[in-house]
A and B are shown apart, each in its own frame.
Chain A
């Protein structure tokens, strides 16, 4: 389930720093809906993504959903968004105005500017390193962080189980037919079996973890240190810089519209 992660500048950074950057940029961009702030942020991010350590193929494959979602969101807003300013094109109740076109552009750029760094930073982060960071740097409870991490490993097994359940239904004569009701039954039936099987697996895993001393309130040590280094601080500073420049340019260009105002 976990992607193979190449060693790169970004992959060596502390996951907590990466998470912070993604959050800082997202929060800044969610404060306004205008195309200038999103455009500037996207431009600055694009320069940084060069060092992300993903191959071109990996990059396009991973970020494909965002590249599809952004134009979709954009077009929908252009066609159906709130109208203002001069009417550029009209067909029935669809109308494209200067206002809706600008809004559409702003939304499309926003999806890219928030989505791309988020996905790229996640794709270059090992879940184990993230858990180490959350527990050691942010001091989140070990029980919660490690429980989640161990649970993540079960996801791959769910996929195999789901596949086997489908084959078993076919073997038992209820794998097709029955129209819509049959299709619904074919989804919910195995979903219930999967739930039962997963709960069972989860409790076995919990016992195995408990047998290795997990889950008591005694202090524990960490085999892998998670440090915040100068490079991580620099990354967070870059995050603030991107957010600041994006907001600054938008205010200067007088396109900034604070959503809470």
Chain B
């Protein structure tokens, strides 16, 4: 048998997979009372493929960050026990471990595809002559067939995640870690990334640990599931099928998407003779690029009617203009062409074009839930933020308080009344962003990817809440990639076609 060598053949590098061992390991982030992870004992053999599950707050990310050596030092937290990679300290295993994170946008380091993939190799002091062959091989492995000088800013979310994966693979790690790599991707992007991972693992034989709420994506790729216990240690550990069967209910309750236990769809009550609230005729939508004056149209020829008590979903591939359409329907962007008119019932005595309404006039008519909840937070506390809308409407202080209290209760935000919205968890932020809009009781609700990256519990709460609003006569327009959301709620589906422009300049 030939000795393991660091030079690579044309087939791909020979990689020595990593062994992981935790002995009573724990970590407490600086400034926190509770341990993120405690009393963890486990062993992962070289070449194993593991799906790491657990309720939010069980410390999955902390463990994976520790394995990647990016958790920091004694200043950033207190470590107990030992976490070992190939028998040595995890923090010292630089270059043996590669980590891909959740957010596609904040992992791109450099402006050109080739340079970005080369970045990790440079940091590991790989000789220049060896870097470029590694870069080409890594890009081929993840299926990104782009020129090396292709700008990274033009990539889709799925492409960016594959780029991040290529950057890690080029470092030839013996352990590949993925922290919710597909949570922010559309269905096409999810499959792209999953397949790229499987291809590379089949080549390299590296040890593999993935955190993901959506079990379905990875269950056929991994051979072992480890469930972390929020109270410390391991809750369950074993072959994929066996653990999903024995722990399925518990996991589903904790918000994990277990395929055999899908969330329940709400019961809808049909609304009789629903009236039209908003009508688009040959509508063209677009944004005005930075420093320009004329909008560049992303979708046109849109004709649709939004009716009270009905849910209209807008679907279509990335770049088709779904979000731009939603923002236009919401009266936030000026139509680039065609007409968009509110019915007399919705306009209620003011002009018919929503984009001409004053900001305050929108409040009771159209509410918008943005894709990124952080964009809509305005105040330093949850309660303060929720009061802004009712206050702007000029409601009496007593009425303001009662509305806010009721909403906080309904959306399980009571215990967070004095917390800063920016410090909430992902699911709490989403509930909060919906609450801010509901506080002014708009008759039309526009939501941009409301279920993106949400765990199954938040998903179910959100969908039931929207169903209740529909039953009460509120109209809903939602942009979504989520097929389950469409089946659960949609009365009408408006599908936008392929992107009008691919963003590639003609020479």
Which A positions have Cβ atoms within 8 angstroms of B?
1-2, 4, 126-128, 146, 149-150, 153, 156-157, 159, 161, 163-165, 167-177, 189, 193, 196-197, 201, 204-205, 207-214, 216, 218-225
Known A-B contacts A211-B99, A214-B119, A222-B128; A169 and B68 likewise in contact (beta carbons under 8 Å):
no
Contact of B111 with A by CB under 8 A: yes
- Distance in angstroms from A161 CB to nearest chain B CB is 7
B98 at the interface (CB under 8 A from A): yes
Using known A-B contacts A172-B376, A216-B94, determine if residue A177 contacts B358 with beta carbons closer than 8 Å: yes
Contact with A along B108-140 (1 / 0, CB 8 A): 111110110011111111111001100100000
Residues of chain B with a CB closer than 8 A to A219's CB:
125
* B378 contact from A189, A201, A204, Cβ within 8 A: A189
Contacts of A170 in B (CB 8 A): 332, 359, 362
Whether A174 lies near B392 (C-beta < 8 A) is yes
Residue of A nearest to B369 (CB): A171
A-B pairs, top 5 by smallest CB distance, nearest first, are: A175-B359, A213-B123, A212-B120, A173-B392, A204-B106
Task: Give the contact stretch, choosing among B164-172, B195-203, B296-304, B402-410.
Answer: B164-172
Say yes or no: A213 contacts B332, CB within 8 Å: no
B372 x A212 contact (CB < 8 A): no
CA of A169 to CA of B389, assembled, Å: 11
| A208 (CB) vs chain B CBs: closest residue | B107
Main secondary structure of the interface of A (DSSP, over half): helix
* B240, CB-defined interface residue at 8 Å: no
Q: Does B473 contact A (CB under 8 A)?
A: no
Contact A167–B332 (Cβ < 8 Å): yes
A219 to B94, CA, bound (A): 13
Residues in A neighbouring B167, C-beta threshold 8 A: 212
Would you call A168 and B120 a contact (CB within 8 A)?
no
Report yes or no: A223 in contact with B121, Cβ–Cβ below 8 A.
yes
Complex Cα spacing A161 to B370, Å: 12
Q: Cβ of B109: which chain A residues have Cβ within 8 Å of it? A: 146, 150, 153, 205, 208-209, 212, 214
**How many contacts between A and B, using CB within 8 angstroms?**
169
Contacts A205-B106, A221-B127 given; does A167 touch B333 at CB 8 Å = yes
A220 to B94, CA, bound (A): 13
Q: Does B315 contact A (CB under 8 A)?
A: no
Chain A hits for B367, CB < 8 A: 171
Give bound CA distance, A30 to B5, whole Å: 59
Q: Of all chain A residues, which has the CB nearest B124? A: A213
Shortest CB–CB separation between residue A222 and chain B, in angstroms?
Answer: 6
Residues on A with beta carbons closer than 8 Å to the beta carbon of B135: 223
List the A side residues contacting B108 at CB < 8 Å. 153
Q: How far is the CA of A1 from the CA of B392 in the complex (A)?
A: 37
Closest CB of chain B to A130's CB: distance in Å?
Answer: 11
Which residues of A are found within 8 Å of B287, using beta-carbon distances?
A: 163
Chain B residue with the shortest CB-CB distance to A185: B378
B119 nearest in chain A by CB position = A212
Interface contact B171-A193, CB-CB below 8 Å: no
User: Nearest-CB distance from A90 to chain B (Å)?
Assistant: 42
**B residues 75-116 in Cβ contact with A at 8 Å:** 94-95, 98-99, 101, 103, 105-112, 114-115
Interface pair B330/A220, CB less than 8 Å apart: no
CA distance A207 to B99 in the complex (A): 10
Answer yes or no: B368 CB below 8 A from chain A CBs. yes
- Residue of B114, B366, B370, B388 near A164 (CB, 8 A) is B370
What are the residues of chain A within 8 A of B378 when measuring CB–CB? 169, 172, 174, 189, 193
Q: Specify the chain A residue showing the minimal Cβ separation from B357.
A: A170
B122's contact among A175, A193, A223, by CB below 8 Å, is which?
Answer: A223
A224 neighbours in B (Cβ, 8 Å)? 115, 118
Instruction: Tell me, in angstroms, the Cα distance from A205 to B109 when the chains sit together.
Output: 7
Q: From residue A205, how far is it (CB to closest CB) to chain B in Å?
A: 5
How far, in Å, is A203 (CB) from chain B's closest CB?
Answer: 9
Is B70 a contact partner of A172 (Cβ separation < 8 A)? Answer: no
A168-B375, A171-B368 known; A128 vs B115 contact (CB < 8 Å): yes
A189 CB contacts on chain B under 8 angstroms:
378
Interface assignment of B11: CB less than 8 Å from any CB of chain A: no
Q: Tell me the smallest distance from the CB of B328 to a CB of chain A, in Å.
A: 11
Task: Choose from A171, A208, A213, A225 the contact partner of B164 (Cβ within 8 Å).
Answer: A208
Asked whether A173 lies within 8 Å of B119 as measured between CB atoms, the reply is no
Q: CA–CA, A201 to B102, complex, Å? A: 12
When C-beta atoms are compared, the residue in chain A nearest to B376 turns out to be A168
Q: Is the CB of B131 within 8 A of A205?
A: no
User: B422 at interface (Cβ–Cβ under 8 A)?
Assistant: yes
Residue in chain B with minimal CB distance to A175:
B359
Asked if B436 CB lies within 8 Å of chain A CBs, one says yes
Chain B residues, CB < 8 A from A2: 111, 151
Contact B153 A156 (CB under 8 A): yes
Contact assessment for B110 and A150 in the assembled complex, using a CB-CB cutoff below 8 Å: yes
**Are A197 and B333 neighbours in the complex by a CB distance under 8 Å?**
no
